[in-house]
Amino acid sequence: MTVAEKPCRFWMVYGMDRGVPTKRHHTVEAARAEANRLSRVNPGVQFYVFGSEYAVETATKRVHEFDGKNFIDITDDIPF
């Protein structure tokens, strides 16, 4: 995440033993559709949909948490 980017929620699809997911889906529905598509072309492989909950950026020492609708700044005074 760069300084110019605002944190936003996204979902990823993980196939068991298929490597690291790289595609970000902007809606849970899109991720579910992709998991269903992948399961059809890879019989016997389980696919999971994971959603982001936190965004942390060390450069700014800011911590954001997803509150159900938006990311909120939950940065505290811990010096790390």
pLDDT in tens, 52-80: 988 777 666 667 777 776 766 766 655 55
pLDDT score of 1 more than 60:
no
Report pLDDT for 10: 94
| Rounded Cα gap, residues 3 and 5, in angstroms | 6
Query: Looking at the predicted structure, is the pLDDT value of residue 3 above 60?
Result: no
Residue 2 has pLDDT above 50, yes or no: no
How does DSSP assign 9-69, residue by residue?
A: --EEEEETTS------BSSHHHHHHHHHHHHHHSTT--EEEEE--EEEETTTTEEEEE-SS
What is the SS3 assignment for 70? coil
Query: Tell me: the pLDDT tens digits for 9-55?
Result: 899 999 998 888 889 999 999 999 999 999 999 999 999 999 998 87
